[in-house]
Amino acid sequence: MTKKIVIGIIIVFNIIYFSSNLYAIYHGDYLLKYNDLASITGSFSVTIAIFLFFKDFINSDSILNFKKSLSFWITVGLLIYYLGTIPITTLMNSMQSITKSEVHLLFNVQYILVTIMYCIFIFGALWSQKKE
């Protein structure tokens, strides 16, 4: 069931992505304006897929030893990153109307989210290594 939902999410995302790009090309905004609709849809799609992974992970026997599961740590890092970047992505096209210090703050938040995500990846990779 999860696989069918993820395939449906991929199809819906691709339809939204291509139709929003065609709309931008038709109106002459292609490459002039950030395609925030596709980016936000992609972030929500990844977030939904991550929650579906967590649902399957919780229902499996792997939950007993989640600390040693690299896939668990990767999904935690991705979840933190994508949930944190959705608000920033929604503001991308209106960044011209906000002050430079606010833009600087948003990019610092983005930088912190990326750093946290990669730290979780590294932590998960180190934690899940088999000791000889």
Q: From first to last of its 132 residues, what are the pLDDT tens digits of the chain?
A: 889 999 999 999 999 999 999 998 998 888 777 788 888 899 899 999 999 998 988 888 877 777 788 889 999 999 999 999 888 888 776 777 888 888 889 889 999 999 999 999 999 999 887 665
Cβ atoms within 10 Å of 41's Cβ, excluding its own: 19
Domain ranges, residue 54? 2-128
Domain count, the chain: 1
pLDDT tens digits for 26-35?
A: 988 887 777 8
Task: Give the relative orientation of helices 70-90 and 100-128 as an angle to the nearest 10 degrees.
Answer: 170
pTM: 0.80
